[in-house]
């Protein structure tokens, strides 16, 4: 989609400059081909944006920066871009201020350190795989994800800078810092609009919402579990009352004293309590010494 000029051209200076109606048309077309939840729109459109930006960068490098004059650029223009559009792109890329900004961005990219080794695999997928591998299904920390995505899956040796950073993170944790504090101590506070090691589309606000939702779900699960326990205990009490009535009626018909019947019932309830405790500790059946007397 990001490389299809029928949907979006390269004439826009940035993704923010792309009209909303164009983005809506792209999203509508994608939904006609795939069944997608509304919650996935942000992730999908981010993918389209990155594809568009990447395509524009490759076109510029292969058909603009490689040549020294406009004639050669037009002669070797990409066939999937109309000549009129490519001429406008050449004119825009040739503006001195635009060229200066491009050089600055290029220099800044070269300064980036500790690049991840996951290739096209998204951080969301990495985090999900790590979560599933955790025994308690907890989310991996930023430190865990950083180490996993920098060491990669092929066991290649790390560069000295990345290894030094990983050693610092481990040192902070060994000193008693939480993973969050260790990560902040090494990399500094998060910048607005993103959260490192969480992947695209994740912001501080969205992450906070996810945590709040997870907390509510956990509380709900605990409430349901508590209610089930109470219901089970109530059923046991009702059963005990039923047993009491049956025993009293039975002993009454046999002429047994009421006090004697109650003593038998208390002994029965005491045995039942012992059996319940054993079952709750993992024993499916009561031991022979605690079975109900027949």
165-219 pLDDT, tens per residue? 989 999 999 999 898 899 889 888 887 777 888 877 777 777 777 777 778 888 8
- CA separation (Å) from 274 to 40, 229, 235? 52, 17, 17
> Is residue 64 within 8 Å of residue 89, measured between CB atoms?
yes
Separation between Cα atoms, residue 116 and residue 162, nearest integer Å: 10
Q: What is the DSSP letter of 109?
A: H
Helix axes 160-174, 179-187, angle to 10 degrees: 140
- pLDDT, tens only, 103-148: 898 888 877 778 887 877 888 888 888 888 888 888 888 899 998 8
> Contact at 8 Å (CB) between 2 and 54?
yes
Residue 56 burial (CB count, 10 A): 19
**How many Å apart are CA 186 and CA 134, to the nearest integer?**
25
Higher pLDDT, 157 or 225: 225
pLDDT of residue 255: 61
Tell which wins on pLDDT, 255 or 215.
Answer: 215
Alpha-carbon separation of residue 92 from 31, 96, 102 (angstroms)? 34, 9, 12
pLDDT given at position 231 = 92
What angle (nearest 5°) sits at the alpha carbon of residue 216, between those of residues 213 and 220?
A: 140
Alpha-carbon Rg for the chain, nearest whole angstrom, is 34
Q: Higher-confidence residue: 279 or 260?
A: 260
- What global pTM score does this model have? 0.56
Query: For the packed helices 160-174 and 142-151, what is the interaxial angle rounded to 10 degrees?
Result: 150
């Amino acid at each position: 989609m990001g490389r299809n000029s029928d949907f979006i051209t390269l004439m826009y200076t940035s993704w923010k400059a792309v009209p909303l109606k164009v983005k809506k048309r792209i999203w509508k077309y994608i939904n006609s081909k795939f069944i997608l939840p509304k919650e996935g729109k942000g992730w999908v459109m981010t993918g389209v944006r990155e594809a568009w930006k990447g395509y524009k960068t490759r076109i510029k490098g292969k058909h603009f920066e490689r040549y020294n004059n406009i004639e050669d650029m037009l002669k070797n223009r990409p066939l999937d871009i109309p000549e009129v559009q490519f001429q406008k792109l050449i004119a825009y890329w040739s503006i001195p201020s635009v060229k200066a900004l491009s050089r600055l961005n290029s220099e800044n990219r070269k300064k980036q350190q500790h690049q991840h080794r996951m290739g096209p695999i998204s951080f969301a997928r990495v985090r999900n795989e790590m979560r599933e591998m955790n025994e308690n299904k907890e989310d991996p920390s930023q430190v865990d994800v950083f180490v996993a995505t920098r060491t990669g899956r092929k066991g290649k040796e790390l560069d000295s800078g990345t290894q030094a950073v990983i050693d610092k993170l481990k040192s902070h944790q060994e000193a008693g810092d939480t993973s969050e504090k260790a990560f902040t101590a090494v990399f500094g506070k998060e910048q607005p609009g993103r959260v490192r090691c969480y992947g695209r589309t994740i912001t501080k606000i969205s992450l906070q919402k996810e945590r709040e939702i997870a907390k509510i779900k956990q509380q709900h699960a605990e409430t349901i579990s508590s209610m089930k326990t109470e219901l089970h205990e109530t059923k046991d009490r009702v059963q005990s009352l039923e047993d009491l009535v049956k025993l009293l009626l039975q002993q009454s018909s046999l002429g047994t004293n009421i006090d004697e019947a109650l003593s038998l019932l208390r002994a029965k309830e005491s045995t039942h309590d012992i059996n319940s405790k054993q079952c709750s500790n993992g024993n499916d059946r009561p031991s022979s010494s605690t079975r109900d007397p027949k």
